[in-house]
Amino acid sequence: MQLTKENGDVRQGHPVYAQMGPTIFEHMSGLARELGAINLGQGFPDEQGPPELLEAAARALREKSNQYPPSPGLPELRDAIAAFYAARQGLSLAREQVIVTSGATEALAAAVLALVEPDDEVILFEPAYDAYAPLVRRAGGVPVLVPLRAPDWRYRREDIARAITARTRTIMLNDPLNPLGSVASEAELAMLAEVCMAHDLVAICDEVWEDVRFDGRPHRSLLSLPGMAVRAVKVGSAGKIFGLTGWKIGWVCASAELARLVGRAHQFLTFTTPPALQWAVAEGLVQPPGRFAARNAAWAASRARLAAGLAGAGFAVLPNAATWFLCVDLAASGIALGDRDFAERAVREAGVASIPVSALFEGAGAPTGIVRFCFTKPDAQLDEAVARLASFRDKLG
């Protein structure tokens, strides 16, 4: 968009944003709204969220302060985050090591702005959340793209070694990985920690799916590995833990020094986050472990329902260990369309929105035949989506 100044000159705006269109998520959700399609594209549950958290937020609105909370976050929430990670991941964190942000994307932005300097190279593993590269560029850094390869989507030392130069300062890691639902192994995490220490790198770890796992394994944060306590920034999200994406409550956990730096960037982004929602999340994080198990069991049932439905309709569903998403291999399903063509036609002709995975790659080697579907929807909606997709597939021949 061109902005006209009073003297008639045209200002283009910052090139990182001036040349960008809407994200693939906004595009597909916009089509779903426009066409009345079932939205299995953008990742959010079609439910109100845990009643006890809704009541806690309402109670906090009535009974607690509605004025600015401290910029780093309410002490109650910072303590609850530290306690949550101590109980579930064995991390030892103090309040000073936690910064509350307005969603995980703001946490990532604050981390990038605080830690990436002009001309720094930042390794990004693809597929990647589409905010990563623009954030790095806006900070003056240079994204260096390392594609993960089918079928296992593993982090390989040789691929990383080829990407590292004298200007490499940071890596950004998304584990568990959206959109593919894969999880880094212990050996891969150990290798990544060794690389960071050998090359004096800081790791920005997007771990928002840490508590949405279906493989029976507890999450292991790169922050917990030897040598990483002073060089890893861990990003988490209440939206993913509780299925409350619209609340936009995220956080950063790091050493006190790194947390302080990120907090300084955060204070000039959103400064703070609604206090009632912070109090409610603090209550939610100290719930008994069984409450989290019941929530994941419900999501696992939806995952199994969609997987069975898609497989029964002839779609090749890829393995998934985490996240709210299942991916389908179009070629293995006997469908000759590329993922972008399939997604565009499916939302218009079948009335089902999805996400083409190639949209989450910038570099070469992007797979062009994988689409992502969100399964955290009511049973009837999943069944109707499968029926529509099955009919659409039959028409493709």
> Is residue 365 within a helix (H) or strand (E), and if so which, with residue range?
none
pLDDT score recorded for residue 1: 44
Alpha-carbon gap, residue 174 to 204, rounded angstroms: 9
The pLDDT tens digits along the chain (397 residues) read 455 555 555 567 788 777 778 899 999 999 999 999 999 999 999 999 999 999 999 999 999 999 999 999 999 999 999 999 999 999 999 999 999 999 999 999 999 999 999 999 999 999 999 999 999 999 999 999 999 998 899 999 999 999 999 999 999 999 999 999 999 999 999 999 999 999 999 999 999 999 999 999 999 999 999 999 999 999 999 999 999 999 999 999 999 999 999 999 999 999 999 999 999 999 999 999 888 999 999 999 999 999 999 999 999 999 999 999 999 999 999 999 999 999 999 999 999 999 999 999 998 778 999 999 999 999 999 999 999 999 999 999 7
- B/e letters for 308-330, b = 16+ CB within 10 Å, e = fewer, are ebbeebebbbbebbbbbbbbbbb
pLDDT score recorded for residue 16: 75
Which residues make beta-bridge pairs with 124? 145, 172
The backbone torsions φ and ψ at residue 236, rounded to the nearest 5 degrees and listed phi first, read: -130, 170
**H-assigned helices in 64-145:** 75-89, 104-115, 132-138
pLDDT score recorded for residue 306: 98
Which residues make beta-bridge pairs with 171? 123, 203
pLDDT score recorded for residue 4: 53
Widest distance between CA atoms in the chain: 64
Q: Report the DSSP pairing between strands 250-253 and 232-237.
A: antiparallel
For tokens 């390794």, name the residue: 123
- Is 113 in contact with 258 (CB distance < 8 Å)? no
Alpha-carbon gap, residue 135 to 140, rounded angstroms: 9
Alpha-carbon gap, residue 127 to 124, rounded angstroms: 9
Give the C-alpha distances (Å, rounded to integers) separating 261 from 114, 121, 217, 230, 264.
Answer: 6, 19, 32, 13, 5
Angle between the N-to-C axes of helices 51-63 and 275-285, in degrees from 0 to 180, rounded to the nearest 10: 140
- Is 314 in contact with 167 (CB distance < 8 Å)? no
The token pair that represents 74 in the structure block: 């309410």
Is the N-terminal amide bond of 179 cis, ω within 30° of 0? yes
> Is residue 173 within a helix (H) or strand (E), and if so which, with residue range?
strand 168-174
How many CA within 13 A on the CB side of residue 296? 19
The token pair that represents 215 in the structure block: 């493989």
Q: Report the DSSP pairing between strands 325-329 and 370-374.
A: antiparallel
Radius of gyration of the chain (CA): 21
pLDDT score recorded for residue 9: 59
